[in-house]
Amino acid sequence: MKIALLLQFAFPIAFLASGAESLTHPHALESFNLSYIQQVGSCSYSVLITTSCSSPSYTRDQISIAFGDAYGNQIYAPRIDDPSTRTFERCSSDTFEIRGPCAYQICYVYLYKSGPDGWKPGSVTIYGHNSKAVTFSYNTFIPNEVWYGFNLCNSGAPSSGTRFRVSLAYGLLASIALYFWQ
């Protein structure tokens, strides 16, 4: 009887807790409008991109990046790769200084890859003037000729409120388990 009650409470709580994590995986973007780039001020961004150790040893693919905030401020770099300088080699980190419109807290990033070699970024960390550093974990191959990444704007996925709800759900689950196994 106790186990049946435990399972009755455990599954909904575990489902609630796991739902928040699904927002933190990269996804393909069906349509992405690069023409809507506000030119409000000019700020510098430092973008650190790591390449996974399970990526090909190097890539000749063309790589572009776009990122921005929830207010429509978008920063776009049409081509950040440079095979002559050995960017995006396996197990490496590359830092790019990108100028663009001034944005608030960065909450989305998309990468675009064009070419036959394949490339598996580990993570993208963006440092901006008006925002805290934010890291997006990829650890997956980028599909060819599609914008691929994260949009956490207004999703609440990385917020402390969501982390609190997930922690609360796991805490409730643990408390219920302890109660029933006494």
Q: How confident is the model at residue 24 (pLDDT cuts 50, 70, 90)?
A: confident
What pLDDT score was predicted for residue 55?
97
Cβ contacts of 38 within 8 Å, gap of 6 or more: 72, 73, 74, 101
d(CA 29, CA 14): 29
How many residues in the chain?
182
In angstroms, the CA 4 to CA 24 distance is: 32
Compare 156 and 167 and report the one with higher pLDDT.
Answer: 156
> Using N-to-C axis directions, what is the helix angle for 2-21 and 160-180, rounded to 10°?
170
Strand 108-114 versus strand 62-68 pairing type:
antiparallel
What's the whole-number average pLDDT of the chain? 78
Pairing mode of beta strands 131-137, 93-100: unpaired
What is the C-alpha separation between 130 and 12, in angstroms, rounded? 39
Q: For the chain, list the domains and their CATH numbers.
A: 29-158 (2.60.60.20)
Note the pLDDT tens digit of each residue in 134-155.
Answer: 999 999 999 999 999 999 998 6
Looking at the predicted structure, is the pLDDT value of residue 16 above 60? no
Q: Is the pLDDT of residue 3 over 80?
A: no
Closest to 94 measured CA to CA, from 133, 52, 132, 54:
52
**pTM of structure:** 0.69
Question: What's the rounded mean pLDDT across residues 167-180?
Answer: 47
**Residue 168 in 3-state DSSP?**
helix
Residue range 100-136, pLDDT digits in tens: 999 999 999 999 999 999 999 999 999 998 789 999 9
The pLDDT of residue 72: 93
Higher pLDDT: 39 or 161? It is 39
Using the structure block, give the residue that is written with the tokens 């001034």: 102
Each residue of 41-99: pLDDT tens digit? 699 999 999 999 999 999 999 999 999 999 999 999 999 998 788 899 999 999 999 99
In the predicted structure, residue 164 carries a pLDDT above the cut 60: no
Fill in the DSSP letter of residue 144.
B
The rounded distance, in Å, linking the Cα atoms of 118 and 59 is 7
